[in-house]
A and B are shown apart, each in its own frame.
Chain A
Amino acid sequence: MLAIFKREFNSYFTNPMGYVFLAVFYFFSGMYFSITLKYNSTDITMVFSYLFEVLMFIIPLLCMRLMSEEKRQKTDQLLLTSPVSITGLVVGKFLAAFAIYGMALAVTVVYSIILSFFATPQWAVIIGNIFGSLIMGAAMIAICLLISACTESQIIAAIGGLAAMLLLWMVENVAYLLPDSFAWLGNILSQLSFSSRYNNFCSGILNIGDVLFYISAVVVFLFFNVRVIEKRRWS
């Protein structure tokens, strides 16, 4: 697991993917942050709530290569015939992507420190925001990783991941559009919404249900991922 994590993490920096991801993330978050400063606000929440849309586009790109490329290059033969469990393999890859995402998100700590020079920010809100983004990103990565495991093509993995992200983003709106007789369905759908739960974090509410939601999403999708790889051996 550690070996796989190390290799994946390094490979983000031996090809441009890691740099591009970080650059895009830093650019947009920096943009929103400077807007915040321009309005003389110490409310960093705006930065985070806009970040959701940025993440929606760049997380599928971060994960598209992880599993699909192994299959295309047949390097999965090495991984699956070496003394590593499939769980170790999946978790190693997940952690590598998550570490890159963590590096990206770390920049918001810098923003908060900058803010603290102008006024005393609400630290609880900021910590809640960072924590919320962290576990929501983890859930997104787990979903995109699963999609990558289902295909041999990076492009399909990217588009599939993007579609899944869009769906999670819109699912709440879909729920509103449902007729009254389908209220129960709308109820379920709105519970699945990533953005509304994320907005809770953004407004400084640390709801244990939200935390559990994202963490269990990570666990469930990683588990599916293991099953998908396991199943391929039996087909």
Chain B
Amino acid sequence: MIEVKNLTKYYGDKHAVDGISFSVKQGEILGFLGPNGAGKSTTMNILTGYISSTSGSVEIDGYDILDNPIEAKQKIGYLPELPPLYTDMTVQGYLSFVYDLKKCKIPKKQHIDDVCRRVRIDHVQNRIIKNLSKGYRQRVGLAQALIGNPEVLILDEPTVGLDPKQIIEIRDLIKVLGERHTVILSSHILSEVQAVCDRLVIINGGKIVADDTAENLTRKLSRDFRYIIRVEGPQEDIQKVLSSIPGMKEVLYNGEKEPGAFEFSLESDPSLDIRREVFHRIVTRNWTILSFRSTEMTLEDIFLQLTTGDSAAAEATLAGADKEEEKPASVEPAQVASIEVVNPETGSLEDVSKPLEAPSDVQEKKVNMNENGGEE
């Protein structure tokens, strides 16, 4: 649906965007992520034809934005960073102007009412935009982008200035829109991108540093050498046994998390896979592993790694992961799973002690995130 090839933009001799290429399929929600000044808005402005690229091409549904601007723009709804509102107009008047501007064919009154209902501004339709709060202005901006049901929606930080409840509403709205429209969404709020987007493009310094799904990025970049293990048995002995495993760098005692069960954070030499050894040594001593997992990197970690000074290293890791992936990827997850299955995991003990806490997916996720956040 959207094809971007080798997009470059100079401002004077400053590279704002430097050779960006990516494509977005129909019905996909793409998250555009990057620190301030990374070139997100510039890229979006080029995609929508507001500014021109120095070189490279943008195609919207087969129409080049420079060669066939009218056809291409007809397919785009754009919400810039600052909503382009005429503050002396009423919401109704403004949307009706946008409707005329986009030369829509759908029944007018009905369509505007419908869009207003979707972004929940139907009760302020007759107010002058000047008098609306930031959150409402943002929503009017979003409404403007939706007018004419464009196939492609390009939203530059759509949830800025909204309150938490509205943010959730807008996210849900974007998800729904993603079913029928192709959406590109920029943000520096990571949880938002994670919650809404199918795919992420992380850019830094005008270059794409990563382009993948959130899960893949997490998997590729988290080097599997940090684990959290919960073992039932004598605490000091467990610690000794764990420390004596070859390749183990550090064993940190996290405390008694359940009666008689202790938790440790393990860090090992990245070149060695210690999981089998850990499992083996504990099982032979007749202790019980209650849980064993690698601490996954959160999106936040990835983002920081990719966009700070470390980015070259991170890119190398990504590239490396791509190559290695072919062989071990199919094996690894299976093994991890098997360890978890062998464990009596959430089995007997946890169920007995806390019968009510049969955690749903969501709860588990939250616990994971909290623990990671606390430790790193």
Contact = CB atoms under 8 A, between A and B. Distances in A.
A233 B78 CA distance: 17
- Among B80, B82, B86, the most chain A Cβ lie within 10 Å of the Cβ of B86
Contact of A74 (B69, B76, B82): B82
A15 B88 contact: yes
A75 B73 contact: no
Nearest to A5: B100
A141 to B, nearest CB: 21
Contact of A3 (B48, B52, B71, B101): B101
Contacts of A181: none
Contacts of A2: 100
B74 interface: yes
Contacts of B101: 3-4, 78-79, 82-84
A227 interface: no
A73 B97 CA distance: 17
Interface string A71-114: 00111111111111100000000000000000000000000000
A86 B83 CA distance: 20
Contact of B73 (A3, A4, A14, A81): A81
A7 B97 contact: yes
Given A81-B49, A82-B101, A11 B88 contact: yes
Interface residues of A, number: 24
Interface string B80-106: 101011111100010001101111000
Contacts of A10: 93
B87 A73 contact: yes
Given A11-B89, A83-B70, A233-B50, A77 B84 contact: yes
A165 to B, nearest CB: 27
Nearest to A75: B84
B329 interface: no
Contacts of A14: 88-89
Interface residues of B, number: 29
Given A80-B49, A233-B52, A74 B100 contact: no
Contacts of B82: 74, 77
Contact of A85 (B70, B76, B89, B98): B70
A21 to B, nearest CB: 16
Given A11-B89, A74-B84, A83 B74 contact: yes
Contacts of A79: 84, 101
Interface in A42-84: 73-84
B144 interface: yes
A66 to B, nearest CB: 13
A179 to B, nearest CB: 44
B367 interface: no
A20 to B, nearest CB: 15
Nearest to B49: A81
A78 B100 contact: no
Contacts of A15: 88
- Among A7, A14, A78, A234, the most chain B Cβ lie within 10 Å of the Cβ of A78
B321 to A, nearest CB: 38
Contact of A75 (B69, B85, B93): B85
Nearest to B94: A7
A81 B100 contact: no
A104 B100 CA distance: 27
Nearest to B45: A77
A80 to B, nearest CB: 5
B51 interface: yes
B46 to A, nearest CB: 10
- Among B45, B49, B101, the most chain A Cβ lie within 10 Å of the Cβ of B101
Contacts of A80: 49-50
Given A74-B84, A233-B50, A83 B97 contact: no
B12 to A, nearest CB: 9
A79 B94 CA distance: 13
A91 to B, nearest CB: 14
Contacts of B71: 83
Interface in A14-42: 14-15
Contact of A73 (B70, B84, B144): B84
A83 B73 contact: yes
A234 B84 contact: no
Contacts of B48: 77, 81
Nearest to A84: B101
A77 B80 contact: yes
Nearest to B70: A83
B37 to A, nearest CB: 18
A3 to B, nearest CB: 3
Nearest to A92: B101
B88 A81 contact: no
B137 to A, nearest CB: 12
Contacts of A74: 80, 82, 84
22 contacts: A3-B101, A6-B100, A11-B88, A14-B88, A14-B89, A73-B85, A73-B87, A74-B80, A74-B84, A75-B85, A75-B86, A77-B45, A77-B80, A77-B84, A78-B84, A78-B101, A79-B101, A81-B48, A81-B76, A81-B78, A84-B70, A233-B52
Closest 7 CB pairs of A and B: A3-B100, A78-B84, A81-B48, A75-B84, A83-B74, A3-B101, A83-B73
Given A77-B82, A78-B144, 6 more contacts: A77-B50, A77-B80, A78-B80, A80-B50, A81-B73, A83-B102
